[in-house]
Amino acid sequence: PKYKPLFTELKRFAKQSGLPLDVPWAELDADQQRLVIEGEGRFPGIRGFFNHLERKKYKLHVRVFLSRYRGYSVCSSCNGVRLRMEAQQVKINGKNICQICCLTVEDAAKFFDDLQLTEQEAGIADKLLLEIRERLRFLNDVGLEYLTLDRLSSTLSGGEAQRIQLATSLGSRLVGTLYVLDEPSIGLHSRDTHRLINILHDLRDLGNTILVVEHDPDVMRASDRILDLGPGAGENGGKVIAVGSYDEIRRNPSSLTGRYLADELRIQMPSARRTPGTQQIKIYGAHAHNLKDVDLSIPLRMIVAITGVSGSGKSTLLHNVLYQALSSAKKQTTGTPSAPCWERLEGAEFIDEVILVDQSPIGRTPRSNPVTYIKAFDGIRELFASLPEAKKRGLTAGHFSFNVPGGRCEVCQGDGTVTVEMQFLADVELICEECKGTRYKPQVLDVRYRGKNIHEVLNSTVKEALQFFAGVPKIVEKLRVLEEVGLGYLRLGQSATTLSGGEAQRMKLAAHLQPAARSLGRPPSDGQRRRSRTLYIFDEPTTGLHFDDVSKLLAAFRRLIEAGGSILVIEHNLEVIKTADWVIDLGPEGGERGGYVIGTGTPEAIAKLPNSYTGKFLARVLNGNGSRGNGRK
């Protein structure tokens, strides 16, 4: 409706220029199509309309609108290589710069190592070749040999981007530098962890200091000193629990991390694994990126782990093939569908919905927060509106919302902060002087429930709120799932923009756990029955999680399965893989040497595969000789 005036303008323009509106687009001649696209006079044309929308891309609904009607195609002039024909004519050993950039790091390193030059050419290129070979070696050393040199940085995972920065740092040969790394092992297979550790040791040996935030036990063991914080999270954390070597931390009874490293606490194996039934999703001929016409069966109503070394095709299989195929089959797609990269899909009728639970933010404004995301705020607002003081003042549930006018502070519009634009500098956020950061008008803050006003309730942690609202089941039911996924330390009104990717992912998991919790032990409603036939897809959900948090995550997974759901998860964490009902291992290597299914079966079956890197490390965990013990076996 908003763009109806433009449609009116199009009809006026069509009448004026003789454009038939009752003729299919394909039957219009080239000049008529050009007029519609380019416009003329007061009519901006399709291109002008989209150029106008480009200037409004900061609005979410505009970005969604653009994605539905616009796609990308390869440039017909350069065929996507970006350079003019003249530049492509310059070749070294039969390859131009575009062809070299299409090589993987491993192949490019071999190309430059094997380069044969004359004495004159070597004199010119020696220093350049030394730099090129060194930098390619560094990329190879951090486990990125499967990446192509022209890979778009926007398509890299967080772990890949961080390891590229590590390689760059090593190449610069800086000394006396403090490096702060946040989980560099993200996305790294157990096989490649030692390569990352070697890089960290090389940086240290140059005279640098490396500060690493990590949950990987192998990285902990390789460190010179460990600083363990806790004892819990949020209000219960922030204290130094233990400082010392790996062995000293393991012997410290106050350290939860140490107790897991010493195997005093451990993530338990399931007493029995679920067996595949007749209901399975089957995909045939998956061929996106490096996948080699993969045929695959995925059993439902169980936890299925997708494993393999970095770059073996796991994310491609889940995101580009399975999720796209099932979304298309269930009519869940939005935007312009890409060309299918699979031959056939079977079994989509066994599920009603597919949900990708990723680490993207749950909100982009200060008003997005945990309590609104899991829909517990409705119950809290209704509770405050039912109080005698609220009725006396004529306040409704809407007055206790900071998303709509009424009870919110209109100076900051419920944000609690105001943004000061600094022109050429980064914007500055200041606490609103009108409401002092409380978000509400004084008459709303005067209403109290058990001594707390709405602002003070929003400033409570989830754990505190569970005790505070103990007599209100409607609210407790929604908040409890946050504690169950290990987010009891979050404040109810904490801005979603401050949540990490792992916290955002667990928030989404909590939102899906609510209907699952309601359906357990009760006859399911139609809505719950549909949700129970849901396939949940997770991409490395243990990112940023401590051993204890992983245990809570697995308990949440079991709840979803017990409610009738199915879980498909990409994971490198051996503690998660060992608890899966079924494992699909890809490989054998990354990049072009990957993309094959190495094996499928229970973790025990994968552990017996001679050509599976995952199986090799999984066998140690299943045999009780995992990497948390006294040295790697």
CATH assignment at residue 390: 1.20.1580.10
Q: What pLDDT does 629 receive?
A: 45
One-letter amino acid for residue 209 of the chain: T
pLDDT at position 163, please?
Answer: 82
Q: How many domains does the chain have?
A: 4
> Does the pTM of the predicted model rise above 0.95?
no
How far CA 211 is from CA of 119, 232, 286, 570, in Å, comes to 45, 21, 41, 28
Q: Which domain holds residue 381?
A: 370-497
Other Cβ atoms within 10 Å of 288 Cβ, number: 19
> Looking at per-residue confidence, does 628 or 507 come out higher?
507
What gap in Å lies between CA 216 and CA 203, rounded to an integer? 19
The whole-angstrom separation of Cα 155 and Cα 320 is 13
Among 38-52, 357-371, 462-476, where is mean pLDDT lowest? 357-371
When the pLDDT of each residue in the chain is averaged and rounded to a whole number, the result is 89
How far is residue 414's CA from residue 429's CA, in Å, rounded to a whole number?
Answer: 14
Q: Measured between alpha carbons, how far is 455 from 431 in angstroms, rounded to an integer?
A: 14
Measured CA to CA, the distance from residue 146 to residue 187 in angstroms comes to 13
| Dihedral sign (CA 441, 443, 446, 450) | negative
Can you read off the two tokens belonging to residue 112?
């430059």
Tokens of 308: 């393999």
Determine the Cα–Cα distance for residues 608 and 194; give it in Å rounded to an integer.
23
- More confident position, 460 or 156: 460
Is 262 a domain residue? no
So what's the pLDDT on residue 536?
95
> What is the distance between the alpha carbons of residues 572 and 193, in angstroms, rounded to a whole number?
11
The span from the CA of 521 to the CA of 139, in Å, is 53
Three-class SS string for 134-201?
A: HHHHHHHHCCCCCCECCCCHHHCCHHHHHHHHHHHHHHHCCCCCEEEEECCCCCCCHHHHHHHHHHHH
Task: Report whether pLDDT(522) > 60.
Answer: no
Beta-bridge partners for 303: 567
Last residue of a domain, one of 224, 241, 257: 224
Selection from 296, 294, 292, 293 nearest residue 282 by Cα: 296
Over residues 413-429, mean pLDDT: 83
Q: What pLDDT shows up at residue 516?
A: 62
Do the domain assignments include residue 271?
no
- When comparing pLDDT for 13 and 155, which is higher? 13
Q: In this structure, are 454 and 562 located in the same domain?
A: no
Q: What is the pLDDT of residue 71?
A: 73
Question: Is 44 inside any structural domain?
Answer: yes
Which H/E stretch holds residue 295?
strand 294-299
Q: In this structure, what DSSP letter does residue 312 have? A: S
Boundary of a domain, candidates 69, 93, 120 = 69
**Residues 334 and 483 both lie in one domain:** no
**513 and 452 belong to one structural domain:** no
Counting DSSP H helices and E strands in the chain, the numbers are 28, 17
φ, ψ at 160 (rounded to 5°):
-65, -45
Residues 538, 274 contacting (CB under 8 angstroms): no
Choosing from 480, 497, 514, the residue where a domain stops is 497
My answer on whether 487 and 505 are in the same domain is no
Tell me if 182 is assigned to some domain.
yes
Q: How far apart are CA 287 and CA 344, in angstroms?
A: 11
Q: Cα(179)–Cα(244) distance, rounded to whole angstroms?
A: 20
- Other beta carbons less than 10 A from residue 158's beta carbon: 16
Mean pLDDT score, 100-123: 92
**Residue 383 and residue 342 share a domain:** no
The answer on 510 and 490 residing in a single domain is no
Residue 257 counted as domain residue: no
Pick from 146, 409, 477, 415: nearest CA to 289: 146
- Indicate if the pLDDT at residue 518 is higher than 70: no
Same domain, 342 and 295: yes
Same domain for 434 and 480: yes
578 is a domain residue: yes
pLDDT at 528: 52
630 pLDDT band, cuts 50/70/90, is: very low
- Taking the C-alpha atoms of residue 479 and residue 369, their distance in angstroms, rounded to an integer, is 13
Contact call for residues 412 and 440 (beta carbons, < 8 A): no
- Helix (H) or strand (E) holding 282, with range, is strand 280-286
Specify if 258 maps to a domain: no
Higher-scoring residue by pLDDT: 473, 154? 473
What contacts 24+ positions apart, CB below 8 Å, involve 316-321?
316/288, 316/289, 316/290, 316/291, 316/595, 317/286, 317/288, 317/291, 317/586, 318/537, 318/539, 318/568, 318/570, 319/356, 319/539, 320/288, 320/289, 321/283, 321/286, 321/288, 321/291, 321/294
CA atoms of 178 and 158, how far apart (whole Å): 20
C-alpha span between 370 and 220 (Å, rounded): 32
Whichever domain contains 187, its CATH number is 3.40.50.300
pLDDT at res. 298:
97
Amino acid at 159: G
Question: pLDDT band at 335, cuts 50/70/90?
Answer: low
- 385 and 318 in a common domain: no
pLDDT at 427: 79
Looking at the fold, whether 189 and 302 belong to one and the same domain comes out as no
Closest by alpha carbon to 32, among 44, 48, 21, 41? 21
CB 507 within 8 A of CB 487: yes
Reply yes or no: is the peptide bond before residue 337 cis, omega within 30 of 0: no
Same domain, 200 and 218: yes
Q: What percent of the chain has pLDDT over 90?
A: 58
Closest Cα to residue 580, out of 307, 339, 377? 307
Residues 57 and 166 in one domain: no
Assess whether pLDDT exceeds 50 at residue 151: yes
Other beta carbons within 10 Å of 277 = 11
Structural domain contains residue 78: no
Say what percent of the chain tops pLDDT 70.
94
Q: What's the pLDDT tens digit per position in 202-235? A: 889 999 999 999 999 999 999 999 999 999 888 8
